[in-house]
Amino acid sequence: MNFPVYKKYTNKLSFFKVTSPDSFEEIKITGNYYSIITIQAKILPERNFIEDLLKNEQGNWVEISAKEYDNKLNEVKTTKKLLL
């Protein structure tokens, strides 16, 4: 698999950039706020989440382009407040 891989939830409130089989970044939108979460998988549930995200057997995510991910990141940085 070639990394990074970009996905989003169908509700368009979380966007993912999977950078390796054990790490990803998530843009999470909550109302007028956003957060950027970086996960380096160290425990099994985190590894399982990344595997599920990549395989997408349940159809929970939609594949997106790097451009869509970057556009969303720029959009939230200019229109929403960072949740600390």
Between CA 3 and CA 48 the distance in angstroms is: 17
Checking if the pLDDT of 1 tops 90, the result is no
25-56 pLDDT, tens digit each: 999 999 999 999 999 999 999 999 999 999 99
Count of other CB atoms within 10 angstroms of residue 15: 25
What residues pair up with 25 in beta bridges, in sequence order?
Answer: 17, 38
Give me 4's structure tokens. Answer: 């990074």
What is the pLDDT at residue 84? 81
Residue with tokens 């099994």: 44
This prediction has a pTM of: 0.94
The one-letter amino acid at 50 = I
Question: 66: Cβ–Cβ under 8 A, 6 or more apart, which residues?
Answer: 4, 6
